[in-house]
Structure 1
Amino acid sequence: MTSTATPTVTPTTVPVATRSRRADLTRRYAALGVIVALIVFFAVVNDNFLTFKNFTDILKSVSVSAFLALGVTFSLVVDGFDVSIGSTASLATIGAAAAMVYYQQELFVAILVPLLLGVLVGLANAALVVKLRLPDLLATLAMLFVVNGIQLTYTSGYSIYAGVEHDGAPAPGIVIPSFLRIGQGTLLGLPFAAVLLLVVVVVAHLFLTRTTTGRHMYMVGGNVEAARHFGLPVGRLKTLAYVLSGLLAAIGGIVLTSRIGSGQVSAGAPMLMDAVAAAYVGYAIFGQKRPSVVGTLLGALLIGILLNGLTMMSVPYYAQDIVKGGVFVVALAFAFWRRKEA
């Protein structure tokens, strides 16, 4: 008679496995839990927080930084890092405003000019990284200074608005109403900029997760040598990532120009920290262990909710920077912890 051995289960086996699953679930959904907790907390301390108007204000406030964060995300996908996005957004702001105020151009040109400027910055970044093989951080940092210097030189350090002096006389144009609707108008009761952001997020997410090119970009970011071994065009994929990064930063600059109704020099620079933090929070969403478009959007919302709630609690703006820095530290901790585990 043959006896069948029964596996012995030690008393600690199940608890250890359970603890491991709980820890994994905590890591996966920690960021979502923080967002929900913040909403509940701010709703309790301020009756006006959980209102439709305040919700739309948050969406409007994060739209610009979210576009910049999406640009950072595309560079992270190929294991790069684009810190020139703030200056690119500033250049796009000046380009859009100059087209309308200096040269009296209509909507098509006012949108096309900043988009082309964003693409040119992306190509310049790609040339430094792919052709000259400079480290991504140093190359885009150098481009940050170059682009910032270009927009300051072009404007002589002055902002562009209706009636500003240009070539010794008042500028003939204005920021046209159709352009202003991008950042100030609504669609179906929601800010138009927020609707545009959601459309771009959906398209970017589908591109990265459902297309061959998008999956190849993730392969380059995961292991560039393996990607080369498989015959992937690593240089072209990195170039595409930086061009998309510049393009998205330019869209953020367009929205910013439309919102404030003028071309403010260096207007995009202060948004770099928010954008980078939002992109890195994407690493901590759903345990994906890689840059994520959806994660970046949630990261931008997290920062927006946090700053909106602190403002409603009358926390000084300079103290809010401490909170933003703390969020960035936590995001980096999650990102590199997960990367090490991977």
Structure 2
Amino acid sequence: MPAARLIRPIALGVTLLLGGWLILAGPAQPSPAAPPQPSLHQIWPAVQVATQTATLDDGTRFTPALYLDPYTAVGVAPSPDGRAQRVLLRTGYETQQLASIDADHYPRFTGFTADAGTFFWVEATATTQQPLSYRLWRADTRGNPTVLTTDTGEGVFQGAEHDLVLHDGLLSWAATAGSRTEIRSIPTSGGPVTATAVDGSFELSAWPWLQTAAAARQSGRQELLDPATGRRTTVVKSAAETVDCSPTWCRSIVAAGTGGDTSYSVLHPDGTARHRVGGADTFAAVGNVALLDRFEVVLQTGTRSAFDSSHRLSLFDLTTLRLITVADDVDQVQAAGHFLWWSTGDRQRSTWHALDLAALTR
């Protein structure tokens, strides 16, 4: 919501002589108070939020990267001695190690995605002697971790929702190839990598769509492209807007400069159905735009700082156009697939909470 502005009431008298009568303007009536923001359980009384402590039995902190169900997550935790970063499968309070990479290789894990109990992720490493390199991994709920391929090209892996995309028995990702973009794919069971080149700079969106790559969006035309059919949708926006899109919805942010309100809206890529989400006290909580094509996940602070220590996590429901409180005093917020999860408490004693958004649509 926009920051409230203080308006001093000013007495205004208007005197008119008409037929010997003196007519004075009456005082302005106060605007009705906005209704309180409803909570998640007021709107969906039967919804369940799963909770787990963030601290594992070995004393390390687990950070989920993907939920398979409310109590099964794939995530990352350091080794107890801090010398490695691990990918773990956590079911309830039991954990299984899937990978461990020495910390001096500066490992980063991203692109987590899953289908029917099998999940995939990207491992990025680099050292002072070796350049950045990637490996794509596959595992399942029984463990069975394996490196699917190292043939990634110059992969575009930036922690976005669609770094890796599953479709038609394939795992696909985008890679930079000069002025072109390669859509690289490998069978989910393993095999050779195939590549299809597309003119321009793109990244993957919901399959089969591509969208203009993040760096190119800042300075030029922004569009969505289905390379199989050649269909293109030009994103309608003003020069002042920063816009991220799925094939169905876009998130628009317009910053008014120091001291000004920030306009935060969602709209269709063609510019229709624009809806204001909030202003200076409302921020996008995750990179994903409109999860399940319905829920925009936001943080509300009540201050003009995005770094305020007390954040309220809310959903903007695109079917009712209202904000709904999920939780107060949240710390980290993430989302993937149809799950939203967040932490409360401090980093020494924190709890993870997971919500299946699909349960809100049934």
When normalised by structure 1's length, the TM-score is 0.23
Judging by fraction of residues, say which structure has more helix.
Answer: 1
Which gives a bigger RCO, structure 1 or 2 (Cα 8 Å, sep 6+)? 1
Greater gyration radius = 2
